[in-house]
């Protein structure tokens, strides 16, 4: 069953067209990894999937709801699409606990008690339960990103979008975040991941998408795309980074 | 208790205190009852009107009005304000009548109806006692004359200036004018004879090189065609008090040889003698500041949020507001609120209310800009993260962006608070007796401007230092929570 679909998606910043008509379909439980050189439009593409970036043309459909329809209640759909950012974007004025419970309390009318229980369960699953009362400024990058994942999961979304989740981390912290993502994938979460971690793509992706200059150049199973790339630009890119 | 709760509590407490103060301290109540007349008078014009050390208004005008009111059986309330402000208030129907040693002139009769004259006077020139240069009007060539705005003395000085090469300095009250001469800025001052004579009698080191001019008569004024019954009662009462000797008693008390000479106190004596009125003035300064700042904090946040929204319409509204209110000097805005607005809309508004509105509108513009800057300084990833969770724009701003912006804004808000506090002194022009105006009133009866301005300056300094320390403590508390 299709969870998320883009149809002829275009995005321009002024004169500059950064997404040139992208079609993508993500099935339930599928893990799609988007790779490509910087400036290829992969982050913009991801940000269009929950309309953080306004779409210039084309459609974004999540669970049969058209996000680009102006009458659509975008907040309702976003509750179902979690997002994790490169810079974590934890709320610095709130404790780890409040970072996680704020949205469910606001949007799901969860009692303080229930929200706390939910948050503790999520913190436990990302290995951060001992930091519930800490403030973000006292956490390491890896810890921040794990809390950010727990925060996104607190709305119990069906789809998770990851925008270069390990790019701002010191190398020794990349592993702990990838491990959390791996567990999510194994639990059947539908995921779209923009990353430079080829190891993760190779191991966890059901499908890898290579983007360049606003186009999807090539896509396929990881062993196929990494082992036997068909397009010259894909080969160039992989030669440079592997 | 979380940060937000604390902030709301502190804010609420401030607002509550402010409200308690205002309810007890409003100086001008307008028409308390139907038949209570509001009568404007000058703040500092001894011996006709001035505050004594108990803070009560006394003087020839004040006692004459009281005697006439008693004789005719009408109720009134005094509204002391600077002379020129009083004229505007009368024209704007903000007050019903005005008694302020006002000369009856043809120009004024075009705007006001006058009672029968109750006092004869004329302008006189005074120079420093030790100034040997000036012995007649001819010696004024190349000199500077101090006058009070809108007075017959000012008109007389203008006539002199046509004849001689004289520079004229304009002042809002008599005491400042005398000080200007004593300090050597002006060479002479022109003022009504009885007023100046009284000041010299009270110990001012001035002398008269020329005899007083003749031909000025004081009258009680109402706005043209308005309050005719009040004017008739004044005339009838005046006739009665002239007849029964009350009038003579009153004038004798202030201008006769037996009138009391106030002792000149030293710095601490001055402070001690006027401690009550000074504290009342300071209290009013604080109420003006706190109430206006509280209103501006709320309104400024709203306008600041307007300029941060994606809505172009709201952006433009915020921009227009800030441009206009930041572009108008506070003193002009105060006059506009107190004199123009009532005329435009036919409403009555007390000086205190006009002052609060003026200061709130002005401060709102500055706080709005600080809010805008504070919001812009919050990383845009914060709003994106909140929106990606499904939180609506309003909730995201309220729960995520604004609390962080407030923390960034605190130092500039403290700064703005200090500025607003000092700006209250400008509101004295519409007759609000806050700290600065209290100082002026005390100088008007004590003629000790040197010591008084040091006292007033120190009071501002102490209160601002204390409030700044308090704000910094609150700031540290808030930041300690991160």
Mean pLDDT in consecutive groups of 10 residues from the start of chain B, 482 residues:
49 48 40 72 86 85 94 92 88 92 90 92 90 88 89 88 90 84 90 86 86 85 93 94 91 74 72 88 95 96 92 94 95 92 84 94 96 94 96 94 91 92 92 88 79 93 92 79 53
d(CA A161, CA A32): 10
Whether residues B296 and B201 share a domain: the answer is no
Cβ-defined contact of A152 to B388 (cutoff 8 Å): yes
Whether residues B234 and B115 share a domain: the answer is yes
Whether residues B181 and B242 share a domain: the answer is no
Strand B112-114 and strand B221-223: the pairing is antiparallel
* CA-based nearest residue in chain B for residue A87: B381
Whether residues B56 and B142 share a domain: the answer is no
CATH number of the domain within which B96 lies: 3.40.190.10
A5 inside 8 A of chain B by CB: no
Interface test with B, best of A76, A93, A137 (most B CBs within 10 A): A93
* CA-based nearest residue in chain A for residue B478: A93
d(CA A162, CA B79): 70
Cβ-defined contact of A52 to B403 (cutoff 8 Å): no
Rounded to whole angstroms, the maximal C-alpha distance in chain B is 87
Residues of A in contact with B387 (CB under 8 A): 52, 75, 78
For residues B309 and B401, the answer to whether their CB atoms sit within 8 Å is no
pLDDT at res. B20: 43
Average pLDDT over residues A100-109: 93
33-62 of A, contacting B, C-beta below 8 A: 50, 52
What are B87's two structure tokens? 């004229």
Whether residues B179 and B128 share a domain: the answer is yes
End-to-end alpha carbon distance in chain A: 34
Whether residues B77 and B139 share a domain: the answer is no
118-177 of A, contacting B, C-beta below 8 A: 135, 137, 148, 151-152, 155
Partner residue opposite B382 with nearest CB, options A80, A91, A148: A91
Whether residues B84 and B184 share a domain: the answer is no
**Domain assignment of residue A126, given as a range:** 2-239
Cβ-defined contact of A93 to B388 (cutoff 8 Å): no
Cβ-defined contact of B2 to A98 (cutoff 8 Å): yes
Name the domain boundary from B184, B214, B244.
B214
Checking if the pLDDT of A158 tops 90, the result is yes
For residues A151 and A100, the answer to whether their CB atoms sit within 8 Å is yes
**Domain assignment of residue B168, given as a range:** 123-214
Overall number of domains in chain A: 1
Q: What is the pTM of this model?
A: 0.73
Whether residues B310 and B390 share a domain: the answer is yes
Overall number of domains in chain B: 3
| Per-residue pLDDT tens digits for A160-213 | 999 999 999 999 999 999 999 999 999 999 999 999 999 999 999 999 999 999
CA–centroid distance for B382 within its chain:
46
Cβ-defined contact of A85 to B384 (cutoff 8 Å): yes
Cβ-defined contact of A81 to B388 (cutoff 8 Å): yes
Among B164, B387, B206, B423, which Cα is nearest to B293's?
A: B423
B407 inside 8 A of chain A by CB: yes
CATH number of the domain within which A136 lies: 3.40.50.300
Name the domain boundary from B261, B280, B295.
B261
What are A161's two structure tokens? 């979008």
Partner residue opposite A75 with nearest CB, options B390, B399, B404: B390
Cβ-defined contact of B395 to A106 (cutoff 8 Å): yes
Whether residues B115 and B160 share a domain: the answer is no
Percent of chain A scoring above 90 in pLDDT: 93
What are B188's two structure tokens? 């002479």
Whether residues B440 and B419 share a domain: the answer is yes
Q: Which helix (H) or strand (E) holds A194?
A: strand A190-194
Cβ-defined contact of B399 to A76 (cutoff 8 Å): no
Question: How much is the ipTM here?
Answer: 0.94
Partner residue opposite B482 with nearest CB, options A102, A135, A155: A135
CATH number of the domain within which B318 lies: 1.10.3720.10
**If you count them, how many residues does chain A have?**
242
Whether residues B8 and B144 share a domain: the answer is no
Whether residues B242 and B294 share a domain: the answer is no
B229 inside 8 A of chain A by CB: no
CA dist B452 → B52, B205, B278, B429, B436 (Å): 16, 18, 10, 19, 10
Partner residue opposite A89 with nearest CB, options B3, B385, B395: B385
B55 inside 8 A of chain A by CB: no
Tell me which DSSP letter residue B45 carries.
Answer: B
For residues B401 and B257, the answer to whether their CB atoms sit within 8 Å is no
A141-153 helix and A171-186 helix, angle to the nearest 10 degrees? 20
d(CA A84, CA A178): 12
Contact partners, residue B97, CB within 8 Å, separation at least 6: B37, B38, B39, B40, B76, B90, B220, B221, B222, B227, B230, B231, B234
Residues of B in contact with A148 (CB under 8 A): 385
A228 inside 8 A of chain B by CB: no
Question: What distance in Å separates residue A52's CA from the closest CA in chain B?
Answer: 7
* CA-based nearest residue in chain B for residue A49: B388
Among B197, B103, B185, which Cα is nearest to B150's?
A: B103
The answer to whether the bond into B204 is cis (omega within 30° of 0) is no
Q: Taking CB atoms and an 8 Å cut-off, how many pairs form between chains A and B? A: 68
């Amino acid at each position: 069953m299709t969870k998320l679909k883009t149809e002829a998606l275009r995005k321009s910043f002024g004169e500059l067209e950064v997404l040139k008509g992208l079609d993508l379909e993500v099935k339930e439980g599928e893990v799609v990894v988007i790779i490509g050189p910087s400036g290829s439009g992969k982050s913009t593409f991801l940000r269009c999937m929950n309309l953080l970036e306004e779409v210039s043309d084309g459609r974004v459909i999540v669970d049969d709801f058209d996000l680009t329809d102006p009458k659509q209640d975008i907040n309702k759909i976003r509750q179902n699409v979690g997002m994790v950012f490169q810079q974590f974007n934890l709320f610095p004025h709130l404790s780890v606990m409040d970072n996680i419970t704020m949205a469910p309390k606001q949007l799901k009318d969860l009692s303080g008690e229930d929200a706390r229980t939910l948050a503790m369960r999520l913190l436990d699953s990302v290995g951060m339960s001992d930091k519930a009362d800490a403030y973000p400024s006292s956490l390491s990058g890896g810890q921040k990103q794990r809390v950010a994942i727990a925060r996104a999961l607190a709305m119990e979304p069906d789809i998770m979008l990851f925008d270069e989740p390990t790019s701002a981390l010191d190398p020794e912290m990349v592993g702990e975040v990838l491990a959390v993502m791996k567990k999510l994938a194994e639990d059947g979460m539908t995921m779209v991941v923009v990353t430079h971690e080829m190891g993760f793509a190779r191991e966890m992706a059901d499908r890898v998408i290579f983007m360049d200059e606003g186009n999807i150049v090539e896509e396929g199973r990881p062993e196929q795309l990494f082992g036997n790339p068909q397009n010259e630009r894909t080969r160039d890119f992989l030669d440079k980074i592997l | 208790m979380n940060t937000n709760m604390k902030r709301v509590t502190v804010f609420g407490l401030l607002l509550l205190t402010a409200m308690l103060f205002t309810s007890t301290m409003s100086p001008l109540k307008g028409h308390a009852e139907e038949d209570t007349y509001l009568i404007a008078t000058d703040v500092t014009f001894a011996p006709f009107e001035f505050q004594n050390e108990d803070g009560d208004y006394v003087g020839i005008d004040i006692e004459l009005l009281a005697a006439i009111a008693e004789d005719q059986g009408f109720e009134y309330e005094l509204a002391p304000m600077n002379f020129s402000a009083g004229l505007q208030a009368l024209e704007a129907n903000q007050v019903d009548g005005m008694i302020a040693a006002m000369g009856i002139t043809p120009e004024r009769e075009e705007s006001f109806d006058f009672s029968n004259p109750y006092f004869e006077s004329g302008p006189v020139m005074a120079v420093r006692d030790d100034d040997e240069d000036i012995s007649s009007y001819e010696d004024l060539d190349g000199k500077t004359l101090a006058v009070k705005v809108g007075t017959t003395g000012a008109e007389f000085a203008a006539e002199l200036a046509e004849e001689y090469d004289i520079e004229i300095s304009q002042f809002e009250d008599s005491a400042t004018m005398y000080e200007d001469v004593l300090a050597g800025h002006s060479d002479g001052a022109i003022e009504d004879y009885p007023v100046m004579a009284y000041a010299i009698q009270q110990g001012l080191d001035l002398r008269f090189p020329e005899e007083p001019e003749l031909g000025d008569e004081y009258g009680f004024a109402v706005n043209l065609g308005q309050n005719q019954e009040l004017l008739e009662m004044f005339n009838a009462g005046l006739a009665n008090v002239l007849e029964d000797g009350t009038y003579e008693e009153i004038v004798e008390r202030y201008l006769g040889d037996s009138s009391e000479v106030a002792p000149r106190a030293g710095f601490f004596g001055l402070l001690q003698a006027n401690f009550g009125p000074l504290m009342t003035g300071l209290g009013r300064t604080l109420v003006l500041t706190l109430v206006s700042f509280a209103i501006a904090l709320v309104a400024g946040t709203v306008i600041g949020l307007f300029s941060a929204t994606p809505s172009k319409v709201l952006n433009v509204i915020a921009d227009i507001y800030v441009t206009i209110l930041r572009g108008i000097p506070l003193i002009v805005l105060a006059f506009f609120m107190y004199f123009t607005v009532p005329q435009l809309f036919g409403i009555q508004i007390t000086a205190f209310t006009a002052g609060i509105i003026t200061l709130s509108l002005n401060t709102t513009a500055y706080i709005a800009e600080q809010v805008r800057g504070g919001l812009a300084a919050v990383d845009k990833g914060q709003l994106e993260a909140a929106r990606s969770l499904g939180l609506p724009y309003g909730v995201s701003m309220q729960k995520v962006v604004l609390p962080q912006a407030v923390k960034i804004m605190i130092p500039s808000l403290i700064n703005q608070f200090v500025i607003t506090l000092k700006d209250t002194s400008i509101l004295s022009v519409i007759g609000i007796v806050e700290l600065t105006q209290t100082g002026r009133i005390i100088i008007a009866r004590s003629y000790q401007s040197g010591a008084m301005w040091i006292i007033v300056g120190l009071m501002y300094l102490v209160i601002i230092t204390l409030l700044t320390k308090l704000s910094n403590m609150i700031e540290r508390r808030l930041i300690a929570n991160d």
